[in-house]
Structure 1
C-alpha cells in the first residue's frame, strides 16, 4: 500500500467516522504554536493543519496525523525484504507483500476510525484557518491488541497443523498461513507501538524469521517430477523445472516424487486483419506418487504477431511465463480443493 493510498484512507475514514462535534475557538488555542493541554501527547495522537479555507486546513491536519502511519508502512516493507527475501522464497515475497498491504488497508480502519477534527480556529488578522485532528490512543490501541490476539490464535492453530498433518502439501499450506498471520501481525505491532504512548506493543510469541525458515524447509521436502507434453515439450520442461525451484520445491526424478505434467496445445488460426494468431490451452496436472490426481489448472493462451513463427513463439513464451510466476500458488491451491 502506497503512502498516498494510506493518506487517502485516513482522510476518507476520518470524514466518515468523525462523530464528535468540532469546537470552533474564538481565541488562539495553545496547539497552534505548541502542545495542546486539552489533548496531551500521552493520551492522543494529533495532527495540525492550516490553510485559507477550513476544508483544506482539516485535510492537512488529517494528513499531518497520517504521517506516523506512513512510517509504519515503510518499516513494514523493509522488514518484509529482510525476512522474506531468502533463497527459495524470493518470488513469494511479492505475494506476501500484497497480502500484508491488503490487510493493512483493512486494519488501518481500526486505527483511524477514531480520527476526528477536534478544534478549529480562524486567525482574525490573516483570516487563515487552523484545524486540529486527534486520535485517542486508548480505543485505537484496544482494537489493535484484539486483532493481534486473534492472529496469534490463528498462528498457533496453523503451527499445530503444520506439525501434525500427514499430507506434506497440507503441512506446507498450514506453515504458510502461520507466516501470513505473523507478517500481518508485525504490521499491526508496529502500528500499536505508534499508537501506544509506551511504544511497547505486544511482544511476539514466535520469531517470524524462524517461521519462514520452517516454511522453506518444508517446501524443500516437496519433491516434484516435471513432465512436459505437447508443443515445445523441451522448452516447457525446462521452464517447469525452473518454476519448481523458484517456488521453493525440489525437482526430482525419484519414485517418491509427485509427477507434475504440463501440456501446451496450440491451434493456428491463420492470418486475420494482417495478424497471425495462435490460440490454445496450457494444462498443469499434479499427481501423487501413487498416480492419483491432486489437481489440475488450465490457462487460455492467445497471442498474435505479424508473422506465423513469431505468433507461435509468443504463445510459448506466455506459457513459460505462467509456469514461472504462478506455480507455487497453483500447487498449494490444490490442497484447498482436494
Structure 2
C-alpha cells in the first residue's frame, strides 16, 4: 500500500511539473508586441525566426535593417532619377555605386548598436529572437556620418575652387561634393526614422548643381575633328551640356572614329569599330574615353549614315562620361 501511495505522489508531482512547463512555453508577448517592453518612442525592434538560435538572431538583425533600407532604398532611386533628369552632368554609374556604398556604410554603423535582448524556443522547435536598437544610439551614429559628409563636401568644393589643376578636375570635385550631399540626404532621412527631426545643411545638392552649371557656363571649348559631321555632333552635344563652343580655346574636345571594313553576313552589312573622345587643356590631355560602335544595314552605302545616327544618339552621354567619370588616359 505504501508503494502505491509513493507511485501516486510521483505521478501527481510529474503532472504538476508538466503543467508548469506548458505554462512557460506560452508564446512571449514580445514576439507580437515588442513595444510593450521596448517603447517605440525609444527603440526600434524586429523579430527573427529560424531553426537555430544564432540564425534567428541574425534574421532579427536583418529584419531591423530593413526598417532603414525599405524607405531609404525607394528615396534613393527617386533622388537618383531626379538628379539624372535635372543635372547637367547626370548621375554616372560610378556615382550610383558610391551612393549605395555610402548608404550601406551608414546603415551598418547605425546598426552596430543592435542587441539581441530576448529569445524563445517554441514547442515546435522553432527559435525566435528579438533585436533591439536604441534610437538615441542610432541617432548619434548617423549624426557622426552627417558631420563627416558635410566636412567632405566642404573639402571637395574648396578643391574645386582653389586647388584643382584644370577644369575637368574642378568639375569632378563638384560632382563628388554633390554625391556626398546626396548621401547626406539619405543619412538625414534615416535620422528622421529614429525620431530625430534631422540636421539642416548649409549647402544642398541642388546648390552644388548650380555651381556645376555655373562652372560649365564659364568654360569655353573648341572642337577638333577631321569630319564635319562629327564636328557638328560634338558642338551640339557640348551646347547641351551648357558650355560655350568657340573656334579657338584652351580647352579642346577631339573626336576620332576607328572602324573596320564592312563585312557581309547573311545578307546584312556590318560595320564595327570604336568612337573615341579626348579633352585637353593648355595642350595637355586630361581625359580620353573610347566606346565600341556597331551598326548594320541591308545596303553598304547606308552604313556611314547609321554610324552617324548611332553617335548622334549617344553623344550627350559620351560627353558626360568624358567630363564626369574618373579620367582615363
2:231 aligned to which of 232, 237, 246: 237
Tell whether 2:151 aligns with 1:158.
Answer: no
Tell me the TM-score normalised to structure 2 length. Answer: 0.73
Is there any run of 5+ residues in structure 2 with no aligned partner, and where? 1-23
Provide the residue aligned with 1:148 in structure 2.
Answer: 146
The structure carrying a bigger helix percent of its residues is 2
- Larger of the two Rg values belongs to structure: 2
Provide the residue aligned with 1:100 in structure 2.
Answer: 99
Tell me the TM-score normalised to structure 1 length. Answer: 0.71
1:200 aligned to which of 197, 200, 208: 197
Pairwise mapping of residues 171-250 of structure 1 onto structure 2 (< 5 A)? Answer: 171-195=170-194, 197=195, 199-230=196-227, 233-234=228-229, 236-246=230-240, 248-250=241-243
Q: Tell me if the contact between 1:229 and 1:264 (Cα under 8 Å) persists in the aligned partners.
A: no
Pairwise mapping of residues 1-338 of structure 1 onto structure 2 (< 5 A)? Answer: 26-48=25-47, 59=59, 62-63=62-63, 66-80=66-80, 85-86=85-86, 88-89=88-89, 91-92=90-91, 96-115=95-114, 117-121=116-120, 130-165=128-163, 167-195=166-194, 197=195, 199-230=196-227, 233-234=228-229, 236-246=230-240, 248-256=241-249, 258-272=251-265, 276-288=269-281, 290-304=282-296, 308-309=300-301, 312-333=304-325
Distance 1:315 1:80 in 2: 31
Q: Tell me if the contact between 1:50 and 1:130 (Cα under 8 Å) persists in the aligned partners.
A: yes
Note closer, same or farther for the CA distance 1:308–1:133 as it changes in structure 2 (3 Å cut). Answer: farther
Distance 2:247 2:290 in 1: 26
Distance 1:35 1:104 in 2: 27
Moved over 6 A (4+): 50-58, 126-129
CA RMSD of aligned residues (A): 3.8
Q: Residue deviations 1:184-231, cap 9 Å, x none?
A: 111112112223x4x13433232332222122111222222234334x
Is there any run of 5+ residues in structure 1 with no aligned partner, and where? 1-24
The number of equivalent residue pairs is 304
Q: Residue deviations 1:206-259, cap 9 Å, x none?
A: 2332222122111222222234334xx41x33432333234x332422434633
What displacement does 1:70 show? 0.9
Note closer, same or farther for the CA distance 1:174–1:87 as it changes in structure 2 (3 Å cut). Answer: closer
